[in-house]
Structure 1
């Protein structure tokens, strides 16, 4: 009888199924407090990463979603570009030919659109990460004139002149004229004359000539310079510059 009981005990201990069942029972016990701690850690790390990304976007490099075709073919609708916010932070100023993002309040937009403060903050955060269209007061254009420049449209060949020198704008949308609206302006110091590359579809400095500020954008309203493409994948890389303004005489220089 004792021998038979010993055999049965050995058989039970060597049965893999029995061992697995007992093991599963022992590992099914979960610690709720440990799980809560793990989720808190994940939430904390997620919040930390989001805050770091927001700070980086606010002060260094901001994604910007292109909402319209006013800068085609250089920038297309749906492109996500990266705005270098350090480009003009250390004494440098926008130059002719730069593509920049700026706050048009007071120049392109005379009054800030009213909206719910909470919604405004949330929209600002989302748009600053390039996940939504930019604020209604944010614009992206090309710098055509800087402080002191005499900008005229157009010469006998239909070209814009800056300080008496014609500009061959190879970046213009195919079929567009430099401007269908004639103008003759001098850019005040500390301001910029902005134009889109798709001139027939761009509402830019030309459209605000008769308004307060005359369409001139203060340099301190510039958010940063568009330096790179971040999306789509086929366009990732640096934004090519232009030689259109090479050789333009400095502001105030007359014809020799």
Structure 2
């Protein structure tokens, strides 16, 4: 049975944009500390299809330095990867010193879609549940800051989002056969999620749940909480002295019309 949520008004757009800007500035400040402190941050984003994970990740990543932050969104495993230890391809993509990694889905695929859709055996599923708390304990013991977010969306809101993708040429690719099957397998996914939480919601690596029926509120809540979990300090930026621009060279440059220019499409609008 789907959980009934207390309906509330959607977050005001102006308030959302103002607070989002403030939080994104704070994310940049936090990243500067991560770099300076050689910290390693791993943030796992999980939840139902169309729950808003991608939008939240986009807002977290938007102004971060991409040399020290990256998104990991793995496709289906290759034949070679299927022959590896299940965690292996994820372990290869963990953060190094001074880096933030945002996982758009993670090893928890095994406890979710793989379990529900029959893509793994019962033995593989049981082994995963036995190993994942140990793996995450090892990551935390090694100094990695690990955060796990679960995005919760109601059945009616999920279907509404699926339908909105159908005729949107920029988001049509987000609507897969697996997404549509998740409508008919709603209860199966609920049971799989509950079983996963029973085993993997541990003190060293707790799950943080986010109500994502309101996308704006869920993004604000995600970033605010993420910042609260990183023990960063505000660092003073280094002083910047702009150099004087040298005088133009006396040697004439070749005419600009000798280069191939991109047609000015903007001028035709």
Q: TM-score scaled by structure 1?
A: 0.19
Q: Which has the larger radius of gyration?
A: 1
Higher strand proportion (structure 1 or 2) = 1
Q: TM-score scaled by structure 2?
A: 0.18
